[in-house]
Chains A and B, each alone.
Chain A
Amino acid sequence: MSRTASGLRAWVLQRLTAIYLGLFTLYLLVLMLAGGHDDWQHWRELFAQPLMSVATLLYVLALLLHAWIGVRDVLIDYVRPLALRISLLTLVGFGLVACGLWAAQALLLARLH
């Protein structure tokens, strides 16, 4: 990897995560529309299943990566002052990691209950 941020890797990751996000979102939509999961108890049981739990964790990870690359692209395009860019990137980074941890915690609690 060169001293600059990656170009090809970010681009490929953005596309691969997009495929997974698209497919899993579609799956979730179908689940919701199919019914049978319309109360908290059912949702908890659904996300407590090991396969579903891992698939959802992957989904969150893909979402965070996808969002990070997208926001990074926007900031690289529009925010020229270095200090401001680094501050914003840091802020977004922390925010995304916090979202990820929160989601992981929720999934873990669903399994523990």
Chain B
Amino acid sequence: MQFLVSRYNPESDEAPHLQSFEIETWRGMMLRDALLEIKRQDESFAFRHSCGEGVCGSDAVNVNGSNRLACITAVADLKAPVTVRPLPGRPIVRDLVVDMSQFYAQYRAVTPWLVRKDPMPEQEIRQSPAERARLDGLYECILCGCCSTACPSFWWNPDKFHGPQALLTAWRFLADSRDQATEERLDALEGPYRLFRCHTIMNCVEVCPKGLNPTRAIGHIKQLMLGHAI
């Protein structure tokens, strides 16, 4: 099976280019296995990967035009030749390895932890099953970056727009019954950029390997913001 893989060495190349590799596939082969096979053929090839089970979120790449985790993408489901590029819109460090600093900076910007104003209790802070259920579909995010790097709004303004990943996280803490910083969180999202660059393009929903829905989360934030404004 033919693979066209994006190669870029900042020390010798002016621009990224595609290199063709012929890989012998086997039953149940995942794209990550194919990339490892390519690395066996050419050990100068660089890509990130770790757990191999779709949990760590390291091996997000752009496959035939859409962002996916290589480790849970079956080669058999892909159309040959398989074109593998780095996540779009991010500075390329080398081959498929991109610089995700801005993505993590946006994540940090939404205060991704519980904020309590009351004194911390001796025991755990209790939640009803219904309150806990509100976090389903939000807490599962693994920060692979598939969604934010598929978002045109994030491509244009990665320094100012939080992007779908960070906004999903923002809603995850706004929706949490134990969090006590709702007003501060909403204030931090006001303005034309941080939240409102989202134009519900929904690329994020389409690519999320965990099946999460950042667009819906963003809608919930807007509703909550409206409720607190009038």
Interface residues of A (CB under 8 A from B): 2, 4-8, 10-12, 72-73, 76-78
Contacts and interface: CB of A to CB of B under 8 A. Distances in A.
Contacts of B199: 73
Interface stretch (B32-40, B77-85, B90-98, B189-197): B189-197
A8 B153 contact: no
B196 A8 contact: yes
B222 interface: yes
Contacts, number: 42
A2 B196 contact: no
Given A11-B196, A11-B222, A77-B197, A5 B191 contact: yes
A8 B156 contact: no
Given A77-B153, A77-B156, A10 B193 contact: no
Contact of A8 (B157, B193, B222): B222
Interface in B136-172: 153, 156-157
Given A4-B192, A11-B196, 11 more contacts: A4-B190, A4-B191, A5-B191, A7-B192, A7-B193, A8-B196, A8-B229, A10-B192, A12-B226, A73-B192, A77-B197
B202 interface: no
Contacts of A12: 226
Of B157, B194, B196, B225, most A-chain CB atoms within 10 Å: B196
Nearest to B155: A77
Given A8-B222, A8-B225, A12-B226, A78 B156 contact: yes
